[in-house]
Amino acid sequence: MIPILTLDGPSGVGKGTVASIIAQKLDWHLLDSGAIYRAFAIVARDNDIKIDDIDDLLKLANNFDISFKLNSNHEPLNVYLNNVEVSSELRTEKTAALASQFAKIESLRKVLLVKQRQFKKLPGLVADGRDMGTVVFPDAPFKVFLTAEVEERAKRRLKQLQERGITGNISHTLAEVQKRDERDANRQHSPLRPAKDALVIDTTNLAINEVIAKVMALIKA
């Protein structure tokens, strides 16, 4: 049996950081499923494929080549598309907003789901996203759903963007985070929600190490 930890939750909650630290601690593989949706959005845009060109979107999804490399400093990932590094463009809110529009399409999600399941390998997998515990790995033995108040998530998101040299302001970031969460939570297919058997952790007043400790305790128990 291959152990899997699913980490789901809304944007800016800190899933990416928690996932990569835990993957390193356990020496498990890491799946940043949001990076797959973001990368797909970049390639679709570069190929000028629109949201309703379903046939072309599916053709592209079946053919696009994405690979990840873990950064040494617990930053989520370096991402390569056809061997070209796209990490910084991938992390902008503009790319995220485009990704969340493509992420509504059920047939596209089905193709990307196959790619995501290929990350399941020994000795284990940490998978972060929106539907890891509900749809992609419903049988995972360890499921966590991270939440935090939206103002706190906007603050975290802005800090993260600034650390990457991307400018922004808090009210704009708050509006973007709210809009994206609303779209992800209210879509028809694979909406953002906790699995019934997930441990829900409100991280509003928790430091990253406290969140890690809670997740590690779940795995060790």
Contacts with ligand C5P, 57-86, as mask; x by CB under 6 A: ------------------------------
**Rule CB under 6 A: which of 106-125 touch ligand C5P?**
none
Kindly indicate which of the ranges 42-50, 57-65, 126-134, 148-156 contains the residues binding ligand C5P, using the contact rule CB under 6 A.
Answer: 126-134
Partnered with residue 79 across adjacent β-strands are 68
> 29 or 130: whose CB is closer to ligand C5P?
130
Task: Catalogue the E-assigned strands of 9-109.
Answer: 29-32, 66-70, 77-81, 84-85
Give the residue, chosen from 7, 43, 96, 154, that forms a contact with ligand C5P under the rule CB under 6 A.
96
**What distance in Å separates the CA atoms of residue 34 and residue 70, rounded to the nearest whole number?**
15
To the nearest whole angstrom, how small is the minimum distance from the Cβ of residue 221 to ligand C5P? 26
**What distance in Å separates the CA atoms of residue 217 and residue 104, rounded to the nearest whole number?**
34
CB–CB of 99/38 below 8 Å? yes
**What distance in Å separates the CA atoms of residue 34 and residue 41, rounded to the nearest whole number?**
11
**What distance in Å separates the CA atoms of residue 101 and residue 183, rounded to the nearest whole number?**
8
Kindly indicate which of the ranges 34-42, 59-67, 141-149, 199-207 contains the residues binding ligand C5P, using the contact rule CB under 6 A.
Answer: 34-42
> 82 or 186: whose CB is closer to ligand C5P?
186
Buried b (16+ CB within 10 A) or exposed e, 138-162: eebebbbbbbbebebbbbbbbebbe
Site membership for ligand C5P, residue 99 (CB under 6 A) = yes
**What distance in Å separates the CA atoms of residue 19 and residue 30, rounded to the nearest whole number?**
7
Contacts with ligand C5P, 134-163, as mask; x by CB under 6 A: ------------------------------
> Helix (H, G, I), strand (E, B), or coil: what is residue 192?
coil
CB–CB of 211/18 below 8 Å? yes
Give the residue, chosen from 11, 17, 87, 160, that forms a contact with ligand C5P under the rule CB under 6 A.
11
Positions that interact with ligand C5P (CB under 6 A): 11, 33-34, 37-38, 96, 99-100, 103, 129-131, 180, 184
